[in-house]
A and B are shown apart, each in its own frame.
Chain A
Amino acid sequence: MAIAYRDPLEQLQRELDRMLESAFGSVGASAAGVYPPVNVFDAGEEYVIKAELPGVDPGKVEVNVENETVSFRGERTFDEPNRDVAYHRREREQGQFRRVVRIPGRLASETARAEYRDGVITIRVPKAKETRPRRVEIKAD
């Protein structure tokens, strides 16, 4: 029997593609005009918000969690080469960004945390206690 090699990422990629397609009409398109695009995930006890911000100084990013809203803002700036250079391609953009993301549920904002790794910001916000999934014990006589 042949063994199929399955990348665990593949299933998620298909799911993301399917959701992108239904939201924006084509795979790979993002919300028009807003930078950076964000993905929001449900991780059971918490919501996870991710955005790709390569080359950003994390010290210049401000994250706020309030009620049902997660927002972040910052600036992406590069050091210009300090010598004579000729540009062949210039596709990477600099400037300010700001996103406000409404989360479909109540948040426990006081225990939110954010990390920046490999150019991706990940904001984790626990769900408010009353909205977390709870396991209910069944009592037997």
Chain B
Amino acid sequence: MSPSDIEARPKQKIERREESTRPGAYFHPAVDIFEAADELVLLADMPGVSPDSIDVNLEGDQLTIEGRVKPEDYEGLKPLHVEYGVGGFWRRFTLGEAIDCEGIKAQIKGGVLALHLPKAERARARRITVQAS
């Protein structure tokens, strides 16, 4: 079976970003999120974002991802023909599952952020020893 052609979806520009301190345009990254028995995995397309310009933040059940592009990649370039806007990526998610913050792993390769969010261990069955008096 030959794979089908990819359909273009315009980048979604974010008009207003909460608590934005950095100037510039931001877009919504396309994401895949899947859940396995022990973790949630989030994959986000963030082209132009290098490993040193990405922030992942988990506060309570609010997960925020933000990536910035490097202005120097566009130095000395005069646009002649434009089909997409250039900027950073930002998106926030509410997690339905308790996450073990210490165990979160993030890596970005080829402009794709891969985030592994291990589920918090359920309250462990505690064995209580009853001491004989």
How many contacting A-B pairs (Cβ < 8 A)?
198
Which residues of the partner chain B approach A77 to less than 8 Å between Cβ atoms?
3
* Binary contact readout B64-105 vs A (1 if CB under 8 angstroms, 0 otherwise): 000001010111111111111111000000000000000000
Quick one: which of A12, A30, A41, A97 contacts B11, CB cutoff 8 A?
Answer: A30
How would you classify the secondary structure of chain B's contact residues: helix, strand, loop or mixed? loop
A69 to B45, CA, bound (A): 28
A6 to B22, CA, bound (A): 10
Say whether, besides A9-B69, A12-B74, A119 and B111 are in contact (CB < 8 Å).
Answer: yes
Range of interface residues on A (Cβ < 8 Å): 35 or more
Q: Does A42 contact B (CB under 8 A)?
A: yes
B32 pairs with A90, CB closer than 8 A:
yes
Which residues of the partner chain A approach B45 to less than 8 Å between Cβ atoms?
52, 54-55, 92, 119
B→A interface (CB under 8 Å): 2-13, 22-25, 27, 30-37, 40-41, 43, 45-50, 69, 71, 73-87, 108, 110-112
**Sample (28) of A-B pairs whose CB atoms are under 8 Å apart:** A9-B24, A9-B86, A12-B74, A17-B25, A27-B13, A27-B85, A28-B85, A38-B84, A39-B86, A40-B79, A41-B74, A43-B76, A43-B77, A47-B80, A48-B77, A53-B111, A56-B110, A81-B34, A81-B36, A86-B34, A94-B3, A95-B6, A96-B2, A96-B3, A118-B49, A118-B108, A119-B110, A120-B48
